[in-house]
Homo-oligomer: A and B are copies of this chain.
Amino acid sequence: MEEEKCLECPHHVECGGKNIELVKRLSEKMITEEEAYYVSELFKALSDMTRVRILFCLLGGEMCVCDIQELVGVTQSAVSHQLRTLKQAGLVKYRREGKSLYYSIADSHVSTMLATGLEHISE
């Protein structure tokens, strides 16, 4: 079999070369490094058990920090640190009412991701 050498990606001659077109096509409309970074940062905010539990609390409606602390069962400081991470990732928002801060889910994407994640592990 007369093998034709591929100058651009010689590797694929070895690999069979079948996917050269696919690879080239995809690499053009591939997600950018920047997008991939932000997406991974978003999921990183969802990658901790305490934060997941906080978010599932908030699915029931807005809640102040001390109530979250009560439900999740970790220290005030830990909750506060984690809420900051969630806020920075755009997953929660808050409003002040007197001495208390009421946190809530930022938008419907968050609920969707949590629901989909829960579905996925239930299989």
Residues on A close to B: CB < 8 A?
9, 11-12, 15-16, 19, 22-23, 25-27, 30-31, 33, 35-44, 46-49, 51-53, 56-57, 60-61, 63-64, 66-67, 70-71, 90, 98, 100, 107, 109-110, 112-114, 116-121, 123
Contacts and interface: CB of A to CB of B under 8 A. Distances in A.
B117 A116 contact: no
A108 to B, nearest CB: 9
Contacts of A66: 11-12, 15
| Chain copies in complex | 2
Given A40-B52, A52-B43, A35 B67 contact: no
Given A66-B15, A116-B109, A40 B48 contact: yes
A19 B61 CA distance: 11
